[in-house]
A and B are shown apart, each in its own frame.
Chain A
């Protein structure tokens, strides 16, 4: 399981922060719990090698990339197999990129090494559009063995739908990307109702604080482009499981708690998500049969710097959930003891302006189940007096069609719940 931010910038992009030098981007990626990050500067790949070096040192995979602006002013991400290829595609793009940068207007375009040292300033007009047509950009990416992703399709400016009204028929895109302003369930319905394209969640981070603000969960053996290509096509047991906003979406907080439980040794997890608008209350409860926590562990559990985990986490754990609950006039409780398992409960005021969005339950369940086939899960999602239940045990993601069937049953269950709850309200 890999948590990947498929869209970040470095200080090479004129609009990006100077703290986003390659090592700064990598440090932020590690901090956000990412397993891999794609570096997609505007119309250039000058900082790719430095980012890869910084990534190797920090133990995080760096996918070379570029965010190319077509003549229609549509942004297309190129995800590329290696730095050499990225630089070759860069030469192709530079040939079609008129103009020179004006630092005072657009910003500095800093080429830096992995030690945060400035090597120079690129003077192409990276903020500008290439003279390549959209078809030409996608064809060039494919010629260089890359994956072509329509960037932030939920944004009007520079998004393919905003610029061109609709996704052109027959354009061989490999995926669509949504930004952190849109949740997956709505994006699926709006942009790929018939699963025409996989949907990625990318942060488009130009500042350190935004790295990993949106991320995609991929079922891969290794974080390489070849594996991602298979995942985009749902081949060989690889898959795009979903995505979201790890620091915000409640669904991803639930995922985080569940992963904590599994890491601690739980074999059975019960998840309750109850949305009660009449009582103006949203409640999350996760119970496990793990070894439980000692009083000392319990006391430290909401300290953001404490973890029992050796692997990376999704989000920032219980501390962040407690903060999210408090922000919505709610609270979080943990009930745990050695030998009796752990129960985490968070309550929110449903209608509170600062109440975090629920996000994508499908992602949560698929990531837990595909990552831990031995686990027993009982999931219960109630909206008012309607509900959706899923009880699973022994799910093997490598069984052909198994994942697709599970995905369908969750998606249909959640959609039916949303529909029936809406009808009930009306």
Chain B
């Protein structure tokens, strides 16, 4: 599944990093607002659901090789966050849905998180 397809399922719009990032393959999912936790526990190719819109979300996504970032609850990225996402080609999806609904829908169309061993 691509980032574009995932975005469509949660009525989201890719507001930054739409270029080649839009076709990134989504291989899993992770939801957290604690960026240290995302650094520790997300996996490459994950679509990351968060409330955080600070510029560091792009750095974390790049570092972990995430497929993209979903900002929930109608939140928009800060200006420098959007600019950095363009530069680093990290797609940011904005959706009006809360995190719980977004995760539920993405799970329903087949995206899975990583289960602890």
A156 to B32, CA, bound (A): 13
Determine the chain A residues whose CB is within 8 A of the CB of B39 once the complex forms: 165
CB of A192 to closest CB in B, whole Å? 17
Given known A-B contacts A72-B52, A72-B54, A156-B36, A165 and B60 have beta carbons under 8 A apart? yes
Determine the chain A residues whose CB is within 8 A of the CB of B59 once the complex forms: 165-166
Given known A-B contacts A72-B54, A133-B54, A134-B54, A165 and B78 have beta carbons under 8 A apart? no
CB of B99 to closest CB in A, whole Å? 15
Using a Cβ cutoff of 8 Å, how many contacts connect chains A and B? 38
CB of B97 to closest CB in A, whole Å? 20
A172 CB within 8 Å of chain B: no
Specify the main secondary structure of chain B where it touches its partner.
Answer: helix
A72 to B78, CA, bound (A): 12
B40-77 vs A: 1/0 string, CB under 8 Å? 00000000000010111001100000000000000000
B35 CB within 8 Å of chain A: yes
Option from B34, B55, B78 in Cβ contact (under 8 Å) with A163: B34
A156 to B38, CA, bound (A): 12
Determine the chain B residues whose CB is within 8 A of the CB of A162 once the complex forms: 34-36
A73 to B53, CA, bound (A): 12
Chain A residues 130-177 with CB under 8 Å of chain B are 133-135, 156-157, 161-166, 168
A156 to B36, CA, bound (A): 8
* B55 close to A165 (CB less than 8 A): no
Determine the chain A residues whose CB is within 8 A of the CB of B55 once the complex forms: 168
* A166 close to B34 (CB less than 8 A): no
CB of B83 to closest CB in A, whole Å? 13
CB of B36 to closest CB in A, whole Å? 5
A156 to B52, CA, bound (A): 15
Determine the chain A residues whose CB is within 8 A of the CB of B35 once the complex forms: 162-166
* A166 close to B78 (CB less than 8 A): no
Determine the chain B residues whose CB is within 8 A of the CB of A161 once the complex forms: 36
* B34 close to A156 (CB less than 8 A): yes
A30 to B56, CA, bound (A): 41
A376 to B6, CA, bound (A): 71
A357 to B55, CA, bound (A): 38
* B78 close to A164 (CB less than 8 A): no
Chain B residues 1-54 with CB under 8 Å of chain A are 33-39, 52, 54
* B56 close to A166 (CB less than 8 A): yes
Chain A residues 65-92 with CB under 8 Å of chain B are 72-73
* B36 close to A168 (CB less than 8 A): no
Which of A73, A157, A161, A164 has the most B CB atoms < 10 Å from its CB? A164
Nearest B residue to A73 via CB reads B33
Determine the chain A residues whose CB is within 8 A of the CB of B78 once the complex forms: 133, 135
Determine the chain A residues whose CB is within 8 A of the CB of B33 once the complex forms: 73, 163
CB of A158 to closest CB in B, whole Å? 10
CB of A251 to closest CB in B, whole Å? 29
CB of B81 to closest CB in A, whole Å? 10
Option from A73, A156, A157, A164 in Cβ contact (under 8 Å) with B56: A164
CB of A167 to closest CB in B, whole Å? 9
Chain A residues 177-197 with CB under 8 Å of chain B are none
CB of B30 to closest CB in A, whole Å? 13
Determine the chain B residues whose CB is within 8 A of the CB of A72 once the complex forms: 52, 54
Chain A residues 16-74 with CB under 8 Å of chain B are 72-73
Determine the chain A residues whose CB is within 8 A of the CB of B34 once the complex forms: 156-157, 162-163
With A156-B36, A164-B54, A165-B60 given, name 5 new contacts (CB 8 A).
A134-B54, A163-B34, A164-B36, A164-B52, A166-B56
Please give the residue numbers on chain B whose beta carbons come within 8 Å of chain A beta carbons, in ascending order.
33-39, 52, 54-56, 59-60, 78
